[in-house]
Structure 1
Amino acid sequence: MLETWGIWIVLFATLLLGVPIYISLGISTIFVLTFSHIPLDIVPLDMVKVGDMFPLLAIPAFIFAGAIMERGGMADQIIDVAKIFVGKIRGGLALVTILGCMFFAAMIGSGPGTVAAMGTLMLPAMLRAGYDKKFGAGVCATGGTLGILIPPSNPMIIYGVMANVSVGTLFMAGMLPGAIVGTALMLTCYFIARKRGYKGMDKTYTTKEIIQIFRQNIWSLMAPVIILGGIYSGIFTPVEASAVACFYALFVGRFILKKLTLQGLWDSIKLTNITSGTSMIIVGVSVLFGRFLTLYEVPQTVAAAMLSISNSPEVILLLICLMLFMLGMFMETLSTIVILVPILLPVIIQLGIDPVFFGILWVLTNEVALLTPPLGANVFIAMTIGKLSLEEASRGALPFMLVLVAITVAFIFMPDLILFVPRLLGNYAG
């Protein structure tokens, strides 16, 4: 009992002092193990185990592919096509931003990366068209959240590893919710634009121009088809798909669009090393942290406490989502997954809740977390692009955040919407 309390006290004390999450996890676990009967030999053994987690290889590859796509001009092409579909509708530039985020998300799997790519291009365009700066920043920040819901998704890969769930099945499960959330966000943009008088784009495309734009941009449009189509058809695994995405992005950016420079390639490599290195370290120490939780039966204790409140799956899910919404204000997406999945998964399984459904629900709560200060990674990026204060950027994202919360709650009572595609395409029996 002393060890259980000790690890949480040390963990939260270090986090409050501003110590990085991976160091906090490692210090708290090793500190408590030092005063327990568990041999410290398990520390290096658990670190080595991370090397056996094959699905994690997809994360640096998808990050690298996304960085190359942004610098190689593929993001520009996606926006050109999105303008054809929704540009003329009231609030067209905002709708183009959301639709562009949906396309780009289907290639890179990163929320902040999607904001950076789309926001840099679309926020200045919205401002030139007379859109309110706060609204534009909110649209970019919120559209970027689709980067972790529409597959491929880096948080889904981490969840799949931590929960021992098929990453491919999670990707399938994210398709329909991604389409629903994207549509809901575009409707929100439309109603706000209608209220504020934002007009659509004046440009009218002839059939010849539309065909020409599709021909010019076909290489970028084929990227999600190749990546996701290959996964769902069984041609390659998610890890192999990430490698395919890298080679495809390099080929298109350098030899087709000819916009990828050696400097752009070097910048992509540096970004990948920094981002994926941080992720891998967190996962590594989380394995050790999870070992401690298992040995001291912390998940079982939490499960018993939650089940004493209610035996209703919906009530428990609502409580978990509320907790994740609150934690998302202070902890980044990856941290909540690696710390809490080993604790909450036994509760979910005991209640008979499908772990794939729970994984997508978790990602939905992470979408909200990307918009909630003081952490809110997407809001910070949009704030930087738009040169706004945190308060202004957060206010612009607030209507969209409320929509995301409402959709998350709705999915709790409609799990079949999340599991429909895996059952249809993957013969999933969950």
Structure 2
Amino acid sequence: MVILFGTLVVLLVIGFPVAFALIGASLAFILLESPLPMVVVLHRTIGGIDSFTLLAVPFFILAGNLMNHAGITDRIFDFAKAAVGWMRGGLGHVNVGASVLFAGMSGAAVADAGGLGTIEVKAMREAGYDNDFAVGLTAASSTIGPLIPPSLPLVVYGVSSQASIGQLFAAGLIPGLMMAAALMAMVTYYAHVRGYGRDTIFLWSMLGTTFARAFLSLLTPVILVGGILGGVFTPTEAAVVASAYALFLGVVVYRTLNFRKLWDISVDTIETTAVVLLIVGAASIFSWILTANGVPRALAGAILGQTESVFVILLLMNLLLLAVGIVMEPVAAITILTPVLLPIAIALGLDPVHFGIIMVLNLMIGLLTPPVGMVLYVLARVTETSFETVVRATMPFLIPLVAVLILVTYVPALSMWLPTLLYRQ
């Protein structure tokens, strides 16, 4: 195991992409410490992505790209502004509300940051909000997406843990809304301290107009979640439905997509999908080596042997996940750590669905921490802000997110009430 982890650390430190670092570490281990043939790496990597459920990944990525280019994000932002823009710190609340609505369509933090983020930060700057507040809040609110269904990270966790993806989607809804409420409380605090006012007055006519413009877009989460819970289609098929519906809106209804845009969307989707699935495949061989060498069992024994306190063990697991989130992309972390940590969680009496929400929430916070936090890099690019400035602006908004993480960890009912109601009666 020294060669495996040592090689991984060295490759990451010298700047190798995560996927190649994982494959390189696995190759070094098999070459130097294992009698297995090198072709095992290829077989296990391909096997890691040979899953029907993982078909949801490219289609949810495609759906998010279609929505960002079809003008759907603008309609969502306008509706959110009419609904909550009248509150003090109005555009801050709009920022969070729009992310909640968009979360029910794409399920990806990077898609939220890259699509809505551009609109939100531009509007807040023009309205006189401080740049650090606009950028930091936008980064934090983008992490809501992977908790509220549908969710790409929850799909990957479901594949890795064999947990019900439908139950995972249901379990993420309340924690996602809690994240939104916590961030809106932070907005209220900033509005009081910095003197932010209201950005619009509440008008029923404006609410009705913007709702009508956004109505077909807002139907997306209703169709997806309703179809999954009603048994009309599986979560994987829901991703296809989401893409088809977004394409229909962009080409037929709004007529904002042309051939050139569709080409760019397709290329971007292919590139992103290739990266994500390469990471999943690379992490699969790495986690297989860990499992085959008894690392999960040894780690579980070591942790459970040190203390019998569930509180302390959960705290240690959260700290580990937060630390991993700082240095590793969420998809890779989920694929590697699920077979390692899930046996410990089950030994503590945790439901795999509840643990999935804990893991994803931890790793979403990791998206806001350097050096690997992808949301930080995306926002730095689309808002033309230095990476260092984005990092400093985001740090205060980690406080409400960590508070929600603590509640979700130690109060299982917050994530388990809805899946129990819908699936386990």
Moved more, 174-183 or 345-354: 345-354
What is the one-letter code of the residue matched to 2:114?
A
Q: Distance in 2 between matches of 1:179 and 1:409?
A: 15
In the TM superposition, what are the counterparts of 1:7-406 in structure 2 within 5 Å?
A: 7-35=4-32, 36-205=34-203, 207-406=204-403
Q: Distance in 1 between matches of 2:299 and 2:40?
A: 24
**Aligned-residue offset at 1:105:** 1.2
What secondary structure, in the 3-state scheme, does the structure 1 residue paired with 2:105 have?
helix
Cα 1:42–1:374 shift into 2, 3 Å: closer
Structure 2: gaps spanning 5 or more residues: none
Q: Distance in 2 between matches of 1:240 and 1:313?
A: 38
Deviations 1:2-25 (A, max 9, x none): xx2221111212111211111121
Q: Are the equivalent residues in 2 in contact too, given 1:133–1:386 (CA < 8 A)?
A: no
Q: Distance in 2 between matches of 1:150 and 1:300?
A: 32
Deviations 1:184-233 (A, max 9, x none): 1111111211211111123442x344333322221111011111111111
What is the one-letter code of the residue matched to 2:378?
I
What is the one-letter code of the residue matched to 2:253?
I
**Aligned-residue offset at 1:48:** 4.0
Q: Distance in 1 between matches of 2:348 and 2:20?
A: 33
Q: Are the equivalent residues in 2 in contact too, given 1:134–1:393 (CA < 8 A)?
A: yes
Moved more, 321-330 or 226-235: 321-330
Deviations 1:383-404 (A, max 9, x none): 2333322332222222211111
Q: Distance in 2 between matches of 1:115 and 1:274?
A: 18
Q: Does 1:409 align with 2:382?
A: no
Q: RMSD in angstroms over aligned alpha carbons?
A: 1.6
Q: Distance in 2 between matches of 1:217 and 1:390?
A: 33
Moved more, 374-383 or 85-94: 374-383
Q: Are the equivalent residues in 2 in contact too, given 1:123–1:386 (CA < 8 A)?
A: yes
Q: Are the equivalent residues in 1 in contact too, given 2:48–2:285 (CA < 8 A)?
A: no
Structure 1: gaps spanning 5 or more residues: none
Deviations 1:20-55 (A, max 9, x none): 111121122122222322344533432442354111
Q: Distance in 2 between matches of 1:284 and 1:368?
A: 23
What secondary structure, in the 3-state scheme, does the structure 2 residue paired with 1:108 have?
coil
Q: Distance in 1 between matches of 2:415 and 2:178?
A: 10
Q: Are the equivalent residues in 2 in contact too, given 1:367–1:404 (CA < 8 A)?
A: no
Q: Are the equivalent residues in 1 in contact too, given 2:45–2:282 (CA < 8 A)?
A: yes
Q: Distance in 2 between matches of 1:102 and 1:189?
A: 15
Moved more, 36-45 or 319-328: 36-45
What is the one-letter code of the residue matched to 1:160?
G
Q: Are the equivalent residues in 2 in contact too, given 1:329–1:372 (CA < 8 A)?
A: yes
**Aligned-residue offset at 1:414:** 0.4
Q: Distance in 1 between matches of 2:236 and 2:403?
A: 33
Q: Are the equivalent residues in 2 in contact too, given 1:138–1:379 (CA < 8 A)?
A: no
Aligned residue number for residue 416 of structure 2: 419
Q: Distance in 2 between matches of 1:200 and 1:61?
A: 38
Cα 1:202–1:296 shift into 2, 3 Å: closer
Q: Are the equivalent residues in 1 in contact too, given 2:135–2:390 (CA < 8 A)?
A: yes
**Aligned-residue offset at 1:109:** 1.2
The two structures have a TM-score, normalised by structure 2, of 0.96
The two structures have a TM-score, normalised by structure 1, of 0.95
**Aligned-residue offset at 1:134:** 0.7
Q: Are the equivalent residues in 2 in contact too, given 1:59–1:154 (CA < 8 A)?
A: yes
Q: Distance in 2 between matches of 1:123 and 1:108?
A: 20
Q: Are the equivalent residues in 2 in contact too, given 1:114–1:144 (CA < 8 A)?
A: yes
Q: Are the equivalent residues in 2 in contact too, given 1:102–1:182 (CA < 8 A)?
A: yes
Instruction: Among all aligned residue pairs of Structure 1 and Structure 2, give the percentage whose two residues are the same amino acid.
Output: 38
Q: Are the equivalent residues in 2 in contact too, given 1:64–1:246 (CA < 8 A)?
A: yes
- Number of positions where the alignment pairs a residue of Structure 1 with one of Structure 2: 424
Q: Are the equivalent residues in 2 in contact too, given 1:311–1:351 (CA < 8 A)?
A: no
Q: Distance in 2 between matches of 1:363 and 1:48?
A: 24
Q: Are the equivalent residues in 1 in contact too, given 2:287–2:337 (CA < 8 A)?
A: no
**Aligned-residue offset at 1:234:** 1.2
Moved more, 72-81 or 370-379: 370-379
Q: Are the equivalent residues in 2 in contact too, given 1:89–1:200 (CA < 8 A)?
A: yes
Q: Are the equivalent residues in 1 in contact too, given 2:75–2:214 (CA < 8 A)?
A: yes
What is the one-letter code of the residue matched to 1:386?
T
